[in-house]
Amino acid sequence: MRNKIAASLLVIVALLLVFSQVGFAQDMKGKFGIGARIGYVNYAGDDYGVSGSNFDVDFDAAAMYGGNLVYYIHRYFSFELSADYVKTDTEIKGSGLSPTNIGELKQVPIILNGRFHFSTNQKISPYLSGGIGYYLNDFDLSNSSAGNELDPDNSIGFNLGGGIQFLLNEHFAIDLDLKYIWNKTDFEAKAPGYAPEETSVNLDNFYVGIGLKYYF
């Protein structure tokens, strides 16, 4: 699954490069923008072992909401700082067990990306992006006995991607954004009468989103 997503992303990025050519009619250097966006997150899922048993964990695809700030330090390069929120149901499956919804994972990724811009004309600007993020993670157990907890650590993630910015006029733009995110965190399971157990869970995901920006 992850390989297919990564391959699709590489194809999209390659097409952006092929159909792009350098040169803006409008110089964006020094421009500052603020925006809002909505996206779709598809998690890769993972398997792990607890107390000698193996389980598959699947995070449902979910909507992500957020905002971002952009600053062009050069006509072809900008920095983007974003903060988003996503909440997804979590299902585990084990040998001989029916799939069970165990609760909700909540993430607040705070991401700093660099974006290298190309241009096909004065209104269309494809770009490549990459960066690092800090993920605030929380988990709410469902139908849990008193005293049971599942606590994820906050984590670091990395992403690569690309997109297209459509300049509607001097101030407004629409972004279509795609990226693959590598992210992993440790979960600590606690239950009364048992020693805490810690396991590392893969939270890699593919993101596609659309946003509106206003440039000053």
The full set of domain ranges for the chain reads: 2-215
Residue 13: pLDDT over 60: no
Tell me, what's the pLDDT at 147? 62
Compute the average pLDDT of residues 54-58: 78
Element (H, E) at 59: strand 53-59
Predicted structure pTM score: 0.79
pLDDT of 106-154, one tens digit each? 999 999 999 999 876 668 889 999 999 999 999 988 766 556 778 899 9
pLDDT of residue 16: 47
**Integer Cα distance of 114 and 123 in angstroms:** 20
Question: The domain 2-215 is classified under which CATH number: 3.90.1150.10, 2.40.10.10, 3.30.365.10, 2.40.160.20?
Answer: 2.40.160.20
Which is more confident, 112 or 18?
112
Tokens linked to 215:
């440039």
Which residues, listed in sequence order, are joined to residue 101 by a DSSP beta bridge?
91
Classified as helix, coil or strand, 11 is helix
For residue 205, pLDDT over 70 is answered with yes
Residue 28's nearest CA partner among 178, 211, 212, 173 is 173
Summarize the confidence of residues 10-33 as an average pLDDT: 60
Residue 64, token pair as written in the block: 């992500």
pLDDT grade, residue 1 (50/70/90)?
Answer: low
Would you tell me how many other CB atoms lie within 10 Å of the CB of residue 191? Answer: 14
